[in-house]
Chains A and B, each alone.
Chain A
Amino acid sequence: MPHKPQTILEQMLAKGYTRRDFLRFCSYITAAAGIHASGLSKVVKALETKARPPVVWFHFQECTCCSESFIRSSHPIVADIVLDKISLDYTETLQAAAGHQAEEALHKTMKENYGNYLMLVEGSVPTKDGGIYCTIAGKTALSTVKEAAEGAAAIIAWGSCASNGCIQAANPNPTGATPIYKIITNKPIINVPGCPPIAEVMAGVVVHYLAFNRIPQLDGLKRPKAFYSKRVHDSCYRRPYYDAGLFVETFDDENAKKGYCLYKVGCRGPVTYNSCGIIRWNDGVSYPIQSGHGCIGCSEANFWDNGPFYQHLASFPGFGIETTADTIGTILGIGTAAGIAAHAVATNIRKRKIIKHELEHSVKDEELKATDEEKKGGE
């Protein structure tokens, strides 16, 4: 390791990329990160002059799909530069070191760069039973997170696990899987949900931090606005069918062949904030809806409990799998109608006296005429 850390440009040149490649990469990632074109020079300057930031990447309760997604980013330099070059000083999946060496590297980075390193977390943290459901090097994930967060400049919570708990937090959540923002409250945290998040989104978030030295603008759920401010539905190419009211009714019908909207077979696009419809996956090849399957809302909290996936309305807990709000409503409605009918019958029985009394006192038409005549006669 050189004493003065190389800048990202230096590293790229050393790797055999040209400056032209570098600039191309900069404009690509600037656009991907949702930064305005006028910010391009800033990005270029930052990557030219800044040393790679120290990064520690933790893996807790997860399936590593975030890492997998990241290293498959469509632009080769993205993975190369961001993953290799930002100096992953510690990441269980990709580091060469193991055992004590790895632990040593981690602690060295954390000590030498106290207050400056970027902490990336993949996976949720179990909190039940003292956090024993996930331990690394003899320590619980819970204590590792707390220790590492202390010296971190910022934390990026990769994927749905780290940002909302994902599948392992699904009811009944046996391990007490908890997202990072609920454990660490005194550090800037960026949630990048998705199972996994899109590689370009991940790269974009990191580059934004590199270039501007601060975290991107976040929404109410701490997600970068650049990628999570629109619903999948808002950028869906099947949207015209939705507005026209043309829906796939079953997966094998004529409408499915025609590519109509998947709303009625459970598409979660209308309630899911992500950029799948714009950036798409695997170098922009496709995304679930384009492949004929509704969105399952993998970047939304509790998506696992909001099933069934192939039904637009969720089933209601405690009422059996196929019971939706509408079934319950209909049953209540019928119950109400029956109650009203019963009440109406009861009224005529129980209030019989009153009704009879009133009827007896009702003035008859002839009587009214007679009184009128009487009055006239009296005049």
Chain B
Amino acid sequence: MKAAKTKYAEYYQIYVWELPVRFYHWINALCIVVLAITGYLIGQPIAIHSSTEASFQYWFGTVRFIHFSFAFVFFFNFLYRIYWGFVGNSFASWKTFIPYTPQHWKEIFHVLCLDVLQICKKPLKSIGHNALAGLTYFLTFLVFLFQAITGFGLYAGMSDNWFTGLFTWIIPLMGGDFAVRQWHHLMMWFFIIFAMIHVYLVFYHDYIEERGTTSSMVGGWKFIEKPEKE
């Protein structure tokens, strides 16, 4: 570990996450929380022993309605993020997500060794995503896509909407609604587990690297210490 930092070290200020990226992130986070909770409830509705007539309540219908509306927000927010991967700054670029160079893979193993297994000593501090995080987000994007396709495919059966009609091909491909529903439900757990690890690792990096990782997704700024002049 370099002893670069002394008291009153000087810092670069770097604008890492642009406003659209931050918006995307929080809208996405909100959607995932809402979709996971409503999705879980749709799979395992809570037992209500009520004497109220069915005509006076609609809670399950409302839960489903919320699930469906947030699904649309989630999907178009995601499409927007893909677009931003082509026009945004270098930290938002699609190139940070797909490990298409040996350099990417070297960094992935480095991160695994340093931060996950904690057996390497050689420091590595990325400014935007590190290569392993990028690859993980790429996988989540694939799951986003899978959830969108299966979800809209299931939804198309009860709607005349042309947009969801674009996804009906998934049903015969996976062998019927039951299988599609089962996988759609299983993938919910991917999001739950992803969210746990994601939040933990943000705290971890903030703690170990002291660059304001957590707050960067709110304000957009990270602070990188200037290397010391000898």
Spell out A's residues near B (CB within 8 Å).
220-221, 230-231, 234, 240-247, 249, 254-255, 263-264, 268, 270-273, 297, 300-303, 306, 312-314, 325-326, 328-329, 332-333, 336-337, 340, 343-344, 346-347, 350-351, 353-355, 357-358, 361, 363, 367, 371
**CB < 8 Å neighbour of B7 from A245, A271, A361:** A361
**B44/A312 in contact, CB under 8 A:** yes
**A363/B54 in contact, CB under 8 A:** no
With A273-B177, A325-B189 given, name 19 new contacts (CB 8 A).
A220-B172, A221-B172, A231-B177, A234-B158, A240-B54, A241-B54, A243-B64, A246-B50, A271-B176, A306-B178, A313-B185, A326-B40, A326-B44, A337-B196, A347-B118, A354-B1, A363-B8, A367-B7, A371-B8
Does B5 count as interface, using CB distance less than 8 angstroms?
yes
**A351/B118 in contact, CB under 8 A:** yes
Q: Which residues of A contact B182 (CB under 8 A)?
A: 306, 313-314, 325
**A336/B45 in contact, CB under 8 A:** no
Spell out B's residues near A (CB within 8 Å).
1, 3, 5-8, 40, 43-50, 54-61, 63-64, 116, 118, 157-158, 168-169, 171-172, 175-179, 181-182, 185-186, 188-189, 192-193, 196-197, 200, 204, 207-208, 210
Q: Which residues of B contact A371 (CB under 8 A)?
A: 8
Q: Which residues of A contact B207 (CB under 8 A)?
A: 347, 355
Closest to A263 in B: B45
Closest to A314 in B: B182
- The CA-CA distance from A46 to B38 in the complex, in Å, is 52
| Closest 4 A/B residue pairs (Cβ) | A329-B189, A245-B60, A271-B177, A243-B61
Interface centre among B169, B177, B192 (most CB of A within 10 A): B177
**CB < 8 Å neighbour of A255 from B49, B64, B116:** B49
CB-based A-B contact count at 8 angstroms: 143
**A231/B157 in contact, CB under 8 A:** yes
- The CA-CA distance from A330 to B64 in the complex, in Å, is 22
Q: Which residues of B contact A328 (CB under 8 A)?
A: 186, 189
**B200/A340 in contact, CB under 8 A:** yes
- The CA-CA distance from A168 to B169 in the complex, in Å, is 26
Closest to B182 in A: A314
Give, as a whole number of angstroms, the nearest-CB distance from A323 to chain B: 12
Give, as a whole number of angstroms, the nearest-CB distance from A3 to chain B: 46
**CB < 8 Å neighbour of A300 from B48, B54, B177:** B177
Q: Which residues of B contact A350 (CB under 8 A)?
A: 118
Q: Which residues of A contact B176 (CB under 8 A)?
A: 221, 271, 300-302
Give, as a whole number of angstroms, the nearest-CB distance from B7 to chain A: 5
**CB < 8 Å neighbour of A244 from B44, B60, B175:** B60
**A329/B192 in contact, CB under 8 A:** yes
**A347/B171 in contact, CB under 8 A:** no
- The CA-CA distance from A329 to B185 in the complex, in Å, is 10
Q: In terms of DSSP, what is the predominant structure of the interface of chain A?
A: helix
Give, as a whole number of angstroms, the nearest-CB distance from B161 to chain A: 15
**B1/A357 in contact, CB under 8 A:** yes
- The CA-CA distance from A178 to B169 in the complex, in Å, is 22
Closest to B6 in A: A361
Closest to A371 in B: B8
Q: Which residues of B contact A245 (CB under 8 A)?
A: 45-46, 48, 57-61, 63
Interface centre among B49, B175, B176 (most CB of A within 10 A): B176
- The CA-CA distance from A271 to B178 in the complex, in Å, is 5
**A301/B186 in contact, CB under 8 A:** no
Give, as a whole number of angstroms, the nearest-CB distance from A272 to chain B: 7
11 A-B residue pairings within 8 Å (CB atoms): A220-B169, A221-B176, A243-B64, A273-B157, A306-B178, A313-B182, A329-B186, A336-B196, A340-B200, A347-B118, A358-B210
Closest to A238 in B: B54
**A333/B177 in contact, CB under 8 A:** no
